[in-house]
Amino acid sequence: ERLGAALNIAEKLTAPEMVEKLDGLLKLADQMPGLVAMKVDMLDEAYREADAKGVNIDERLGAALQMAEKLTAPEMVEKLDGLLKLADQVPGLVAMTADMIDERMKEINDSGFDPKALIEVASSANTALTNARAEPPTKVGLFGMLKVLKDPDRQKGLGFLMNFLKYFGRNI
């Protein structure tokens, strides 16, 4: 039985197509030291180029291995799995949050709150504050205050303030 198996193997190995394949493998084996040397030279050159740029390959590979070790630890895999499950829920949570915000904004608008008006007033107040800071303040007494009240801009601002105080007083 062994002799038959050995003859069968010998017959397969000496078949012309197998001899051709084996010959190709032997030629490739002869070229292997040169190919390996070429690849090692390429790796050395890449290592030197990285080092010239300030990249420490050994340090980075060590850090990558530490990261891989941490990421594949069973407790971390469990945490990452939980995060992925949470990420699957994000679109629904975002939609639900947007719906809640829309509903709340509708309630606020229905109660008379006007966000656009608030933004306009805040913008005007910011501009006025910026301009007022740019001018040096002057000392003003009672009569000086009465004198500056002739200014139409101050009259308009004071009128706005009086209206605001009126409506603010109603709500408190």
Distance in angstroms (rounded) separating the CA atoms of residues 39 and 33: 10
Distance in angstroms (rounded) separating the CA atoms of residues 16 and 20: 6
Check whether 107 has a pLDDT greater than 90: no
Distance in angstroms (rounded) separating the CA atoms of residues 107 and 109: 6
- Model confidence over 25-65: pLDDT tens digits? 999 999 999 999 999 999 999 999 999 999 999 999 999 99
Q: Which of 1-10, 64-73, 162-171 has the highest mean pLDDT?
A: 64-73
Average pLDDT, the chain: 92
Report the predicted TM-score, pTM, of the whole model to 2 decimal places: 0.35
Distance in angstroms (rounded) separating the CA atoms of residues 105 and 126: 24
DSSP-derived secondary structure letter, 1: -
Which pLDDT score, from 0 to 100, does residue 169 have? Answer: 92
Length of the chain: 172
